[in-house]
Amino acid sequence: MNASWMLHLYPRAWRERYEDEFRAMLDGHPATPSDMLDILSGAVDAHLRPQVETSGGDPSPRDSRPTSPVQGRLAFFFAHVAFFMILNAVLFIINGLFTRDTWWAWYSLWGTAMVLVIHGGITFPWRSYFGAHLALYGVLNTGLVVINVNNGGPAWSVWTVVTLGVLLVTHGLLAFGRISLFRAHMLATALATLELLVVPLIVDDTVITSLVLNAAQLWVLVLAHWLVRFHRVSLFTAHLVTFIGMGTLLAFSNAIDDSGVLWVQYPLVAWGILLAAHAVLTTRRDRSTGSERASMMLGDLGARAKESPRKSRRRVLGFHAGSFVLGSIILVVLDLMDQASVWWAGWPIGVWLVVLAMHAGWVLMPRYLVGAHLVGWVAGSAALIQIDVITGGDRWWQWPVLWWGVIVALHLGTILPVRTTALGMHIAGAIALSVALFFANEWTGDPTWWWYPVAAIAFSVLMHFGWMLERQMARGGSAARR
Amino acid sequence: MAASQFDLGRFSEPALLILISLVGVERHGYAMMEDIAAFSGVTMGPGTLYGALARLEKQRLIEAVPSNHRRQPYRLTPEGQRALERQLDAIHSVTSAGMKRLREANQERP
């Protein structure tokens, strides 16, 4: 059997170095099916762990045309666009044929669109990813508004539209260099104040006192920022000012509400403990000026994607994890002392855990993109579940969470240090997920639904590799024409 | 040589067989496959062979010999020879320890 055509499956750089001699070997000795499987396995491995360097050494004329990073990123992005389009088309067909009473496929379309927007932001970075934030703002809020309108009830989506809009505007002004960090902070606070006053007026025709107090709390943060920026106060002093200002406003808020519960003691005690810990840990005064600190903060914001010293990032993560454990213990103790029927500590601990997971994904994932995918999935899933719970939905979140999770799992498969091929990992992942879905179906006792996602998973795995094959053959053909 | 420099991933065993096959002689790909099958009984597929060859060449443990033929012969580099010696020494230590323990176990058995 002639297996020479399989050489097109290898990366271009590899073929430029080894194609002739490999072909010579295959020409003289026809390949068996086992050999063909071995060649396929070798091709996948050559893609996952490049064996041939495209620069340096003794470059041939063809070596001067390596695939540029930009081309690679574009190909990667448009491959994902194509993949998501086909995936969603399949889901809509399944939805339309079998479960027409609920159009759950829209959620998949929404979720994948958001993933693509984030991906697009990395592929086409425009003004420190401002373009990605702009597109994400549009896609995210469109979905939220549609959910809100479909489910009826209070117009909660107005808040996400306006709040994220305020952040987007200030981000844009920062990204285009029109405004300093402090002024951006002040502008965002002013717009947020307007929002907190005006939105309730429009939605409920009233002014909500607690929201006015929230606006005042935001101004306390501006005050702390101003002290650091222009008066060179230490970060601890700024923290103390924030604590006093926020604490006063919280106490006032507690005094005027009708709950009859002195709830303000809990945040004040917990925050006070953290502040005391901060005071103990502050062994030396930070002598950098306010403007230097502002520059550092801006630089940090703009260069999140760049590598920073590994040890430093891990140390900060460790500090965060330790704070989480300590903070959770304090919250649980306070909750137990409270003896209320509602276990309220679960909410802050849960939200904090999501943030910690995001932080850990960012720091620990060997590859930035995979970490970002994982972080996005964890945070996005938590948000979707929360929206469903708040709106009294029918567990629709399971679909976007499931599909997004499958894609993230596939990405994780590419970085696991296992000695197997990408095809094997995909198939193993698909089988494991299918089994999990089957048992989940059995456990919930719902009508049999598990085979829909399982069929789609199998289809998507096959399609992904079909696409890889097609792309490699197309590349091989174009290389041969040159 | 540091272990990390000799990290050949899933091709570590094929790489060792290739290095052994090239000791004192130049061989092209197919000749290596036949030689390896003869001295070890391992039938190496073409994808595995070239995956390992590419890594060994990248690590400068083997090198291509200038040739006018389509079949490209390879040979060991001095560095490759030293790496092979270290690998075989390590394997020898492990097998010696294993054999010694087996002997001791057999002697203790009534």
Neighbours of B65 (CB within 10 A): 12
pLDDT at res. B1? 38
If pLDDT is split at 50, 70 and 90, which confidence band does A447 have?
low
Contact B51 A419 (CB under 8 A): no
Burial of B10 (C-beta count, 10 Å sphere; 0-12/13-18/19+): middle
Contact (Cβ atoms closer than 8 angstroms) between residue A53 and residue B58: yes
Stretch among A11-20, A235-244, A335-344 having the lowest mean pLDDT: A335-344
From A225, A189, A226, A193, select the one nearest A212 (Cα to Cα).
A193
Q: Is B86 on the interface with A (CB under 8 A)?
A: no
Stretch among A188-202, A425-439, B88-102 having the lowest mean pLDDT: A425-439
Contact A24 B70 (CB under 8 A): yes
Stretch among A27-41, A255-269, A357-371 having the lowest mean pLDDT: A357-371
Distance from CA of A41 to the nearest CA of B (A): 7
Provide the ipTM: 0.81
Chain B hits for A37, Cβ within 8 Å:
45
- Domain borders along chain B are 3-108
Q: Give the percent of chain A with pLDDT over 70.
A: 62
Contact B47 A51 (CB under 8 A): no
Q: What is the CATH topology of the domain spanning B3-108?
A: Arc Repressor Mutant, subunit A (1.10.10)
How confident is the model over B80-105, as a mean pLDDT? Answer: 90
Chain B hits for A49, Cβ within 8 Å:
9
Q: Give the percent of chain B with pLDDT over 90.
A: 44
Distance from CA of A83 to the nearest CA of B (A): 28
If pLDDT is split at 50, 70 and 90, which confidence band does B36 have?
very high
State the alpha helices, DSSP H only, in A176-208. Answer: 181-204
- Taking one residue from A and the other from B, the number of pairs with CB-CB distance under 8 angstroms is 70
Q: Which helix (DSSP H) or strand (DSSP E) does residue B62 occupy?
A: strand B62-64
Contact B54 A28 (CB under 8 A): no
Contact B46 A49 (CB under 8 A): no
pLDDT at res. A438? 67
Contact (Cβ atoms closer than 8 angstroms) between residue B71 and residue B30: yes
Greatest alpha-carbon span in chain B: 65
Best residue of B12, B33, B50 to probe chain A, by most A CBs closer than 10 Å: B50
How confident is the model over B101-106, as a mean pLDDT? Answer: 90
Contact A41 B48 (CB under 8 A): yes
Stretch among A155-169, A197-211, A234-248, A340-354 having the lowest mean pLDDT: A340-354
Q: Is B73 on the interface with A (CB under 8 A)?
A: no
Neighbours of A473 (CB within 10 A): 14
Q: Which long-range contacts (CB under 8 A, 24 or more apart) does A49-57 make?
A: A49/B9, A50/A11, A50/A13, A50/A14, A51/A14, A51/B51, A51/B54, A51/B55, A51/B58, A52/A11, A52/A13, A52/A14, A52/A16, A52/A17, A52/A18, A52/B54, A52/B58, A53/A13, A53/B58, A54/A13
How high does pLDDT run on average in chain A? 73
How confident is the model over A290-298, as a mean pLDDT? Answer: 52
For A17, the closest chain B residue by CA position comes to B54
pLDDT at res. B9? 45
Chain A hits for B48, Cβ within 8 Å:
38, 41-42
If pLDDT is split at 50, 70 and 90, which confidence band does A477 have?
very low
State yes or no: pLDDT of A415 exceeds 90.
Answer: no
pLDDT by residue (tens digit) across A162-210?
A: 888 998 898 888 888 788 888 988 999 999 999 888 888 877 777 778 7
How confident is the model over A38-52, as a mean pLDDT? Answer: 76
If pLDDT is split at 50, 70 and 90, which confidence band does B78 have?
very high
pTM summary value = 0.43
Q: Is B46 on the interface with A (CB under 8 A)?
A: yes
Burial of B55 (C-beta count, 10 Å sphere; 0-12/13-18/19+): buried
State yes or no: pLDDT of A308 exceeds 60.
Answer: no
Contact B47 A29 (CB under 8 A): no
Helix (H, G, I), strand (E, B) or coil at A185: helix
